[in-house]
Amino acid sequence: MVEQNENKALHYYQRAIQYNKDFWPARFYKGMLLKNNSTKKAYMEFLTCHRSIAMYIEKDRFDYQFLLEGFNARYFLDICQKWIKKLNKR
């Protein structure tokens, strides 16, 4: 994403998800990339991401914290909820 190459980023996020379906940071950013052009796919990614984050929080995990740029999982959970509502209206 940093390189402004969305296709390449989508490819790598999808590969990460294939290795670990509960790796919600990849799902979150994949949803962010899809939200403008593929709203149905983005909606599904945010739904799955929301479930994965909720389980992550419930299990009191912190293993992805170093990837969250100073934010916590609840912050990303909230963003997922907002995108789910917004994309559901489209």
| Residue 1 placed within a domain | no
Domain that residue 29 falls in: 6-88
Residue 35: which of 15, 10, 14 has the closest Cα? 10
Question: pLDDT for 8-66, tens place per residue?
Answer: 999 999 999 999 999 999 999 999 999 989 999 999 999 999 999 999 999 998 888 88
Residue 85: which of 52, 29, 21, 42 has the closest Cα? 42
Confidence of residue 1 (pLDDT cuts 50, 70, 90): low
Global pTM? 0.89
Per DSSP, 3 falls in state T
Residues 80, 82: Cα–Cα separation, whole Å: 5
| Residue 53 placed within a domain | yes
Query: How many domains are there within the chain?
Result: 1
| Residue 40 placed within a domain | yes
Dihedral angle of Cα 63, 68, 73, 79, to the nearest 10 degrees: -150
| Residue 39 placed within a domain | yes
DSSP3 helix / strand / coil % (the chain, rounded to 5)? 70, 0, 30
